Amino acid sequence: MNSTTNETCSSRADDPGTRGGLSSVVGSVGRRRVLLGLLASGTGAALAPVLTASEPAGPADAGFEETYRRRRIVGVRDRVGRSAHEGSGGWRVTVDGRPLHLMRRADGSWMTMVDHYQSYPTPLAAARAAVDELGPTERLSMPGDSADHMTGSGTPSRPTGVEGDHHSGVHA
C-alpha cells in the first residue's frame, strides 16, 4: 500500500525563477519545491478493503470511514514508515477519494490545510471540519489535477505543490 501511494514523488529541477525584488520568498520556495503525489487518485477505493469499521468517535488509533454531509471520509492509521514528524501525523485521510492532509499541534489536536487556524481533538473531527468548509461542489485539490498544472503525461509542467509531503494536496 505504501509503496504505491507513498512514493509517487517527483521533484523539479527547474525553478520559476525570481521576479524582481520578490527574490527571497520566491527563490527559496522555488528551489526546494517538490511534488509528492501522496495518496494518488483512487486511493480511497484502494484503501477501503483494509479498513476496519469504526465508530464515528472511535478510539484514537482506529481507522474511520463514514459519509458526512454527503462526503465520503476515510481515515487510515498509517503504521508503515511514517510518523508524526513527517507531516501527516501518521494518518492518511481522504475526502471523496482526495487526500486531506492532517497536521498535529503540540497539544495533540489535529488540523488540516483547509481549516488552518484552529484544531480538533481527533483526526475525524478535523476531517469533518474540513468538509464543513468545503462548498457544495468544492473538492480538495489533487496534486496535478488541473491542466494548468500538469501536462497530459502526468509530469509536472512546472513546479506543482510545495516542499515535501507536508503540503501534498495543494493545487498550484
Partner 1 sequence: MVYTRKDVSTLTQSERRRFVTALLEVKRRGEYDEFVRAHIEYFKPDGERGLRTAHMAPSFLPWHRRFLLDLEQALRRVDDAVTVPYWDWTRDRTRTAVPWTDDLLGGTGRSSDRQVMTGPFAYGNGGWTIKVGVTDTAFLQRDLGRPGNPLALPTARDVEGALADPVYDTAPWNSTSTKGFRNKLEGWGAGRGAASWRNHNRVHRWIGGQMVGAASANDPVFWMHHAFVDLLWSRWQQRHPNAGYLPASPLAVGDAQHGQVVARQEKMPPWDVTPEELQDHSGIYQYV
Cβ-based nearer residue to partner 1, 4 or 132: 132
Q: Does residue number 14 form part of the binding site for partner 1 (CB under 8 A)?
A: no
From residue 31 to residue 50, the character string flagging contacts with partner 1 as x (rule: CB under 8 A) and all else as - is: --x-----------------
For every residue of 16-49, DSSP letters joined together read ----GGGHHHHHHHHHT-EEE--S-TTHHHHHGG
Closer of 25 and 50 to partner 1 (Cβ): 25
| CB-CB contact of 45 with 108 (8 Å) | no
Q: With contacts defined by CB under 8 A, how many residues of the chain interact with partner 1?
A: 53
Smallest Cα–Cα separation from 123: which of 136, 108, 138? 108
Stretch that binds partner 1, among 1-9, 51-59, 70-78, 159-167 (CB under 8 A): 159-167
The distance of closest approach from Cβ of residue 52 to partner 1 in the complex, given in angstroms and rounded to an integer, is 25
Task: Answer whether 158's CB lies under 8 Å from 123's CB.
Answer: no
Per CB under 8 A, the segment of 1-9, 28-36, 40-48, 57-65 that binds partner 1 is 28-36
CB 126 within 8 A of CB 115: yes
- Can you say whether residue 87 is alpha, beta or left, with left for phi > 0 and alpha for psi between -120 and 50 degrees? left
C-alpha grid cell, residue 160:
506543482
Amino acid at 131: V
147 binds partner 1 (CB under 8 A): no
Using the rule CB under 8 A, which residue among 53, 79, 148, 155 binds partner 1? 148
Question: In the complex, which residues of this chain contact partner 1 (CB under 8 A)?
Answer: 16, 19-22, 24-30, 33, 84-87, 89, 103-108, 111, 113-118, 120-121, 133-141, 145-146, 148, 162-163, 166-167, 169-172
